[in-house]
Amino acid sequence: MKLTKRLTIGSQQTELVAHHIVLELSAGGRGILTVKGDVSKGQLISLDIGYNNQLVRYFTGYVAKVTPAGKGTNKIMVRELAGILAERYPVSIRHATMRQVITKLAEDTGLSFVIPEGQAYTDTPIANFTSQGTGYQLLNNLFRAFAVPDGVWYQQQDGQIYVGGYQQCRWATRPVEIPHELSQQQSNNNWKLLAMPAMRPGALVNKNRINQVELAGDTMTITWATNAADNNQLERQVKAAFPELAGGYHLPRFGCVVAISDSAAAGDINNTFRPRYAVDVQLLDENSQPDTAVPVYKAISLPVMFAGTEQGLLQYPLEGAIVEIGFAYGRADKPFIRTVLGTGFTLPAIEPGEQLQQQRAGVYQRTDTAGNQNSSTDQQQQHSAYHKITNADQYDIEAGSMHTKVQQHSIEEVAGKKVIEALGAVDVLAGDDLTLGALGNTRLAIAGELTETIGKLRHSVAEELQRFEAETHWAGTDTVNIYNLLDQLMQCVSQLADHCAKHKHLVGSTMSNAPDIAADMTSRKTDATNLHNTLQPIVAT
């Protein structure tokens, strides 16, 4: 039987002189055709093949390049419609589902995609999906991001592109058995046989999944992978030359802290043999599940900011914290923790533009967007310095109680007014001299009593006037009041003046008359009595 071929470019059937077409699983098909007539870059083409005029669509794509071949023919390079996925199609979707990503890719490319229905991975959202590469890279990353089991994609005969798990595609339930006698040539993982119009990448032939179909003339070569290592010979060679690529040591890994390895005291040396500032880590797989096939990494060094001799910003992460692990120089024996993430823990309140360092709720240092700083702790806060200077336009302190202890001198200079208010008592004590001085006036206002206890001398000097006012007065000792003695003296003077005014005595046998100044003496008595009456009410008893 002769293979019949029908090539359509644009809307015109074109004579096909020669062809070599390669279709691949999870890749865009391509080919080189030699045709008669004029062809333009970008034209759509379709190739139908079959036997006995029963043709089926084999290739649908577009012209990527045209090269004159002589004698009225052109050699053209063609690609499947999916070939435009070789262009860059960046995507960034938060809380994305696989369906949303495929819908976005369809809008950007104009291609038609088909995804399986009823599968959890198609509509289960993930935290974030990003891709900044080609459409090919996007689809390959898609399977990993959404945990698609055995993910594949290919362009179907109708031009639509299937994206999903292999077990959900049409080939998984349509295995084909081809007798070995039909093969024209066999090798380890490929057969050469007569062209089969329905043969496509992904077909399950003799229990082997076909990953490449090559059509040249009337023959077809089908290729499958005997095992995962046979998928890419170049990849095997690269991994052999660079074992760090095979082990994935060139990529960062996530891990979970399972224990604190050690503790550090002042002066302890931190080295690779014993990194005291370190934790034990269980590696995670790319789906954030514990990779139990890998033993726990012991004593992995933690990152230190501002490192130096007894310097740095340090804090051990809690057990369960997610960390990023890198491998220096791609060496498996040089793991280190690059970053500590907050994944899985509750977060404190923080606004964009703020800075926050928090040990736990209620213990933090915060700088808000305006530049205001707040330092808080529900325990003890201690500052120690050789010389501490605080500058502020306004300084407010609110405290439940306050105790200031100064080992030497305490000097306070106030340029303006100072007010001390106490709802309770105020005690001012000095082990040596106490000096109060004012260039202006000094006032004491006391609602109760003012008591002065002076061990030795009290010396009070007033340049102009000293004035004491009270309802009653006491001056002297605790038993003798000078004001009372003065009052008694006035009474004594009054009595003495009265006695002198009435005094008479015998002159011989005759009583003398009253003194000539009796009236004056009586007047002095009155004066003394008036002074007594004035002083007596204000004399304290």
From CA 285, how far away is CA 291, in angstroms rounded? Answer: 5
List, by residue range, all CATH 3.55.50.10 domains of the chain: 84-230
The 3-state DSSP composition of the chain as helix, strand, coil percent (nearest 5) reads: 20, 30, 50
pLDDT one-digit tens code per residue, 118-162: 999 999 999 999 999 999 999 999 999 999 999 999 999 999 999
List, by residue range, all CATH 2.40.50 domains of the chain: 245-341
Given a cut of 60, whether residue 447 has pLDDT beyond it is yes
pLDDT one-digit tens code per residue, 327-356: 998 888 899 999 999 888 888 999 999 999
Higher pLDDT, 501 or 420: 420
Q: Average per-residue pLDDT in the chain?
A: 90
SS3 263: coil
Side-chain-facing half-sphere of 14: CA atoms under 13 Å = 28
The pLDDT of 203-218, averaged and rounded, is: 93
Question: To the nearest whole percent, how much of the chain has pLDDT over 90?
Answer: 59
CATH code of the domain made up of 84-230: 3.55.50.10
What confidence category does residue 228 fall into, taking pLDDT thresholds of 50, 70 and 90?
Answer: low
Q: Per-residue DSSP letters for 321-378?
A: -EEEEEEGGG-TT-EEEEEEE-TTS------TT-EEEEEETTEEEEE-TTS-EEEE-S
- From the CB of residue 485, how many other CB atoms can be counted at a distance below 10 Å? 13
Cα-atom radius of gyration of the chain, to the nearest Å? 53
From CA 340, how far away is CA 278, in angstroms rounded? Answer: 12
Residues facing 224 on adjacent strands:
210
List, by residue range, all CATH 2.30.300.10 domains of the chain: 4-81
Given a cut of 90, whether residue 509 has pLDDT beyond it is no
Distances (CA, A) of 87 to 91, 104, 105, 138, 185: 13, 15, 12, 11, 37
In 382-497, beta strands by DSSP E: none
pLDDT for the residue 331? 86
pLDDT for the residue 234? 77
CATH architecture assigned to 4-81: Roll (2.30)
From CA 382, how far away is CA 379, in angstroms rounded? Answer: 10
pLDDT for the residue 238? 82
pLDDT for the residue 497? 84
Task: Give first-to-last CA distance, the chain, whole Å.
Answer: 148
Options 2.50.20, 2.40.50, 1.10.1740, 3.30.360; CATH of 245-341: 2.40.50
pLDDT for the residue 227? 61
pLDDT for the residue 232? 66
pLDDT for the residue 444? 86
